[in-house]
Amino acid sequence: MKKERIAVVGLGQFGSSLVRELAHMKVEILAIDKDPQRVMEIAESCDDALTLDILDEEAIREHLIGVKTVVVCIGESPLPGILLTTIAKELKIPRVHVRAHGDTAQKILLKLGADDVYSPEKKAARRMALKLTVPNIVDSLPMRKDQAIVEIPVPDRWIGKTIGELEIRQSHAINLICIWRADADVADFSPAVDVPFQETDKVFLLGSKDRLADLKPSDS
């Protein structure tokens, strides 16, 4: 099976750390930065490392062909994210994740088609606040490398059927953690086994990556 190709644009502290983490996964990594020193330092951790200025739109387009996911790790200014999101969507790249600060930048990027706008600093601050105020809180679980927790739209073949009918754990060897329904403010961690899944539901699942991949919607 062909490996998924992921482009990481911006090799500062966060981008470089992301590349090194991805290196342990079954993916191809394209790392891009305008600073040749940063590119050289990360080159051994990825499949391809390129020194490119994102303002060189022709070169960026050329090298993003075949990429399934773009992660923009340049957050100081919204302009790189705006430019790269626009290019990625024109190339029909399925997933675009953009680092950004501020609500205005987030709104613009989402309107342009970014699938996720994130802030590592905000996430770290939230995690620290919880650790400081909730004793023994857990923000990660020890899992094998072949295991994962995913959030996906409810699979088409589950719609209209109940948890009891599907026997998810027995049929798929995965665990249903919770359901997030469109009209709910929070996820349901104790869903009724006799209530049918709805088309707008999202499900959180735990299991082996291979079995989870069989349930994810295909990128077409």
Q: pLDDT above 90 covers what percent of the chain? A: 62
| C-alpha dist (Å) from residue 48 to 23, 34, 124 | 12, 14, 29
pTM metric for this prediction? 0.75
The mean per-residue pLDDT over the stretch 47-60 comes to 94
- pLDDT digit string (tens) for 59-112? 999 999 999 999 999 977 889 999 999 999 999 999 999 998 888 888 999 999
Determine the Cα–Cα distance for residues 198 and 26; give it in Å rounded to an integer.
Answer: 32
Whether 174 and 205 have beta carbons less than 8 Å apart is answered as yes
Q: What structural domains and CATH numbers belong to the chain?
A: 4-125 (3.40.50.720), 147-215 (3.30.70.1450)
pLDDT of residue 218: 58
φ/ψ bin of 61: left (φ > 0), alpha (ψ from -120 to 50), beta (otherwise): alpha
Helix 57-64 to helix 78-90 angle (10° resolution) is 50
Q: State how far Cα 90 lies from the chain centre.
A: 20
Per-residue pLDDT band for 122 (boundaries 50, 70, 90) equals: confident
Per-residue pLDDT band for 219 (boundaries 50, 70, 90) equals: very low
pLDDT of residue 8: 97
Parallel, antiparallel, or unpaired for β 48-51 and 116-118?
unpaired
Per-residue pLDDT band for 41 (boundaries 50, 70, 90) equals: very high
- pLDDT digit string (tens) for 154-178? 999 999 999 999 989 888 899 999 9
For residue 220, pLDDT over 70 is answered with: no
Which amino acid type is present at position 129?
A: A
Q: Which residues of 5-28 are buried (b: 16+ CB within 10 A; e: fewer)?
A: bbbbbbbeebbbebbeebeeeeeb
Whether 8 and 21 have beta carbons less than 8 Å apart is answered as no
Average pLDDT for the chain = 90
pLDDT of residue 1: 56
| C-alpha dist (Å) from residue 204 to 150, 178, 217 | 6, 5, 14
